[in-house]
């Protein structure tokens, strides 16, 4: 079992969904980013997704887009992030996942990135703009270094296409709860029930639900058979951190 799957299964045995906070690298600023990651790690995060800032984040809403802009302005790059991660290799209990667009990884060099990621104890990667049909070589390279290439599926992903991902995927599956970009939403779309149950039939891996989550009460809107194994929260957490509030306070409501 991949370590990311194990992290989620262990949380589920405790009677709760695994917690997967997302924070853009270098946000809210260079001084506070790593202390925020440490605080998340110390206060219940099972997996931490670190966003790689990019100048054209087409799938991201205004909060994550602004976080990327600020991080880039402050000098955060994938190269700097990898150097910082290698300095901190083994510091964190949570599984570490990098989420970013394909171009920065390609520019870094995929072979070098995979080797450096392994050295930094990174467990997985999410690349939203890398379609399944073009992912074979990347997936094989990452797997050689113990990195899971996390599948992304959404409301419009057919069972046939989910089955393609299921044949290759490791770690967990990221189920996108809306057709739009990232961002806080008050309610979960009714179509998420059917999407989650469709994914449950196709995947044996844990299902993580993201895009728009901010509080546990939102999960009450889902049918019991559609409840996720893990929850991902990004925009709401970024807003929380940007307001100068403790990361631990955000996680506490989910524990």
Beta strands in the chain (DSSP E): 18-24, 47-51, 95-99, 122-126, 148-149, 151-153, 173-176, 207-210, 230-233
Which residue from 180, 177, 130, 179 is spatially nearest to 150, judged by alpha carbons? Answer: 130
Q: What is the DSSP letter of 155?
A: T
Q: Could you confirm whether 56 is annotated as catalytic?
A: no
Active-site entry in 39, 46, 60, 229: 60
Are the CB atoms for 22 and 99 separated by under 8 Å?
yes
CA count, 13 A, side-chain hemisphere, 1 = 12
Q: Could you confirm whether 60 is annotated as catalytic?
A: yes
Task: Report the distance separating Cα 93 and Cα 106, nearest Å.
Answer: 28
Task: Determine whether 220 is exposed, middle or buried from the number of CB atoms within 10 Å of its CB (0-12, 13-18, 19+).
Answer: exposed
What kind and span of H or E run contains 74?
Answer: none
User: Could you tell me the strand order of the sheet in which 151-153 lies?
Assistant: 148-149, 122-126, 95-99, 47-51, 18-24, 230-233, 207-210, 173-176, 151-153
Active-site entry in 49, 84, 170, 229: 49
Are the CB atoms for 20 and 208 separated by under 8 Å?
yes
Q: Residue length, the chain?
A: 255
How many Å is the Cα radius of gyration of the chain? Answer: 17
Residue positions annotated with a catalytic role: 49, 60
């Amino acid at each position: 079992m991949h370590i990311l799957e194990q992290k989620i299964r262990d949380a589920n045995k405790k009677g709760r969904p695994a917690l997967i906070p997302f924070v853009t690298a270098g946000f809210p600023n260079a001084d506070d980013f790593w202390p925020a990651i440490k605080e998340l790690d110390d206060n219940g995060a099972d997996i931490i997704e670190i966003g790689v800032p990019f100048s054209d984040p087409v799938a991201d809403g205004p909060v994550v887009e602004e976080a990327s802009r600020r991080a880039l302005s402050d000098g955060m790059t994938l190269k700097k992030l990898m150097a910082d991660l290698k300095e901190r290799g083994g510091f964190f209990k949570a599984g570490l996942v990098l989420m970013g667009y394909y171009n920065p990884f390609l520019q870094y060099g995929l072979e070098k990135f995979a080797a450096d990621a392994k050295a930094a104890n990174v467990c997985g990667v999410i690349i939203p703009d890398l379609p399944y049909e073009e992912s074979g070589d990347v997936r094989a390279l990452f797997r050689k270094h113990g990195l899971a290439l996390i599948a992304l599926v959404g409301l419009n992903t057919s069972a046939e296409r989910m089955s393609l991902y299921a044949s290759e995927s490791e770690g967990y599956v990221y189920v996108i709860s809306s057709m739009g970009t990232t961002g806080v939403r008050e309610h979960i779309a009714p179509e998420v029930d059917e999407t989650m149950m469709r994914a449950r039939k196709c995947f044996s891996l844990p299902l993580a639900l993201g895009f728009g989550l901010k509080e546990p009460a939102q999960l009450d809107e889902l049918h019991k058979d559609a409840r996720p194994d893990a929850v991902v929260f990004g925009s709401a957490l970024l807003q929380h951190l940007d307001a100068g509030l403790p990361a631990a306070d955000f996680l506490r409501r989910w524990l």
